[in-house]
């Protein structure tokens, strides 16, 4: 069994990106908007800022108070759309009273760092992955870098969120996997997950996937991030499932750092596309 070192692969990816940015003589600029003071969002933003500084992406932070209105946020997004920033990231969750869909749709699709704009998600569905969400991209990149063949494999995804499960299903389909997506209304889920050659889990429940739900030799990718006491754990019962999997991502140190690395790559690609 192989424990996939997401931190090491992410470092490799960021080092490659740093070189690419230098070679293309670009100076990409990312604007990050945080509304309110969600503590988890602040932690995520710190790691994004550190990655930007590592690869040579300019990082601009725009903080709006918890009390900010929808109109204020839309005004800021409009200004950034018209400015020289190459990529805009709106950190979610947003405070009550601010609609996520309306806000994400206000971002210029060509500056959409997270790839959550409906135009970009629609393009993904028809096979154009030029602006794809970072977390599903991280899962694909991990599989690629550990040489897991996707074509023809049965991939089971647990979770159907718009930011992880659904786009990941499209990306695996784009690579000729046979894809099954499970969710809270799925019946006999263990029977389905046991058929997975590749099992990707994004549920948000600690230790949700137990060894009985995993086929011997499966590749298991755990997207979950859950706080249990003072520990961070995934959605997979790592210690037990690792005995059955041929490869498995730990939490922390799996998909998380790869998500940040993929986000950096996307900012670079947006800047490159804008240069023409
Ligand atoms: P989400 O929007 O809450 O979606 C959770 C999904 O899990 C839903 O589709 C839900 O089904 C399904 N689900 C919930 N309970 C279930 C059950 N008992 N059986 C089967 N399916 C069930 O979550 P998300 O945003 O995709 O995030 C999922 C996890 O990934 C979280 O822990 C989050 O923190 C983590 N995450 C990590 C990264 C990263 O960079 N590593 C990025 C994003 C998210 P229904 O649709 O039927 O409700």
Alpha helices in the chain, H assignment, sequence order: 6-23, 39-55, 70-82, 100-106, 118-125, 134-145, 165-174, 189-193, 238-241, 255-275
- Tell me which of 3.40.50.720, 3.55.10.10, 1.10.420.10, 2.40.50.100 is the CATH number of domain 134-256: 3.40.50.720
Cα of 202 to ligand 1 centre, how many Å? 4
**Nearest alpha carbon to residue 69 among 77, 60, 61, 81:** 77
pLDDT at site 132: 97
Is residue 109 within 8 Å of residue 131, measured between CB atoms? yes
114 as an active site residue: the answer is yes
Is residue 51 within 8 Å of residue 261, measured between CB atoms? yes
Polymer length in residues for the chain = 276
Look up residue 165 and give its two tokens: 């499960």
User: In whole angstroms, what is the distance from residue 101 CA to residue 163 CA?
Assistant: 12
H or E segment and range at residue 187:
none
**Nearest alpha carbon to residue 133 among 120, 117, 118, 115:** 115
User: In whole angstroms, what is the distance from residue 32 CA to residue 252 CA?
Assistant: 24
Catalytic hit among 29, 48, 242, 265: 48
Q: For the domain bounded by 26-110, which CATH number is listed?
A: 3.40.50.10860
Cα of 34 to ligand 1 centre, how many Å? 22
274 as an active site residue: the answer is no
Tell whether ligand 1 has an atom less than 6 A from the beta carbon of residue 185: yes
pLDDT tens by residue, 124-170:
999 999 999 999 999 999 999 999 999 999 999 999 999 999 999 99
**Nearest alpha carbon to residue 32 among 269, 223, 263:** 263
Buried b (16+ CB within 10 A) or exposed e, 219-244: bbbbbbbbeeeeeebbbbbbeebbeb
From 184, 205, 251, 264, the mutation candidate for ligand 1 (largest count of ligand atoms within 8 A of CB) is: 184
Cα of 29 to ligand 1 centre, how many Å? 30
46 as an active site residue: the answer is no
Tell whether ligand 1 has an atom less than 6 A from the beta carbon of residue 161: yes
Tell me which residue has its CA closest to atom 2 in ligand 1. 161
Tell whether ligand 1 has an atom less than 6 A from the beta carbon of residue 184: yes
Cα of 259 to ligand 1 centre, how many Å? 16
**Nearest alpha carbon to residue 162 among 124, 127, 191:** 124
pLDDT at site 1: 75
Tell whether ligand 1 has an atom less than 6 A from the beta carbon of residue 219: no
Tell whether ligand 1 has an atom less than 6 A from the beta carbon of residue 165: yes
The contacts of residue 216 (CB under 8 Å, 6+ apart) are 244
Sign of the alpha-carbon torsion through 110, 126, 260, 135 = positive
Distance in angstroms between the alpha carbons of the first and the last residue of the chain: 44
Q: Where are the domains of the chain?
A: 26-110, 134-256
Tell whether ligand 1 has an atom less than 6 A from the beta carbon of residue 167: no
User: In whole angstroms, what is the distance from residue 259 CA to residue 257 CA?
Assistant: 5
Give me the residues of the chain with pLDDT under 50, please.
none
Cα of 263 to ligand 1 centre, how many Å? 20
Catalytic hit among 29, 91, 197, 242: 91
Asked if the domains at 26-110 and 134-256 fall in one CATH topology, the answer is yes
């Amino acid at each position: 069994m192989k424990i996939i070192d997401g931190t090491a692969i992410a470092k490799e990816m960021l080092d490659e990106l740093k070189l690419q940015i230098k070679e293309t003589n670009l100076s990409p600029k990312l604007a990050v908007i945080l509304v309110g003071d969600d503590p988890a969002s602040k932690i995520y933003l710190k790691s994004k800022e550190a990655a930007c500084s590592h690869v040579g992406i300019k990082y601009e932070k725009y903080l709006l108070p918890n009390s900010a209105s929808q109109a204020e946020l839309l005004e800021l997004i409009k200004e950034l759309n018209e400015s020289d920033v190459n990529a805009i990231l709106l950190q979610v969750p947003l405070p009550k009273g601010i609609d996520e869909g309306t806000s994400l749709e206000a971002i210029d699709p060509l500056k959409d760092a997270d790839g959550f704009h409906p135009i970009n998600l629609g393009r993904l569905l028809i096979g154009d992955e030029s602006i794809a969400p970072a977390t599903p991209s991280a899962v694909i990149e991990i599989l690629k870098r550990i040489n897991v063949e996707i074509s023809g494999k049965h991939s089971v995804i647990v979770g159907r969120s718009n930011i992880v499960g659904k786009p990941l299903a499209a990306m695996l389909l784009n690579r000729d996997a046979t894809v099954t997506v499970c969710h809270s209304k799925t019946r006999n889920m263990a029977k389905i997950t046991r058929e997975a050659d590749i099992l990707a889990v994004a549920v948000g429940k600690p230790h949700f996937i137990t060894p009985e739900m995993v086929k011997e030799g499966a590749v298991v990718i755990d997207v979950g991030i859950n706080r249990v006491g003072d520990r961070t754990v995934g959605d997979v019962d790592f210690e037990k499932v690792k005995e059955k999997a041929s490869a498995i991502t730990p939490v922390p140190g799996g998909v998380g750092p790869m998500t940040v690395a993929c986000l950096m790559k996307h900012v670079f690609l947006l800047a490159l596309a804008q240069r023409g």
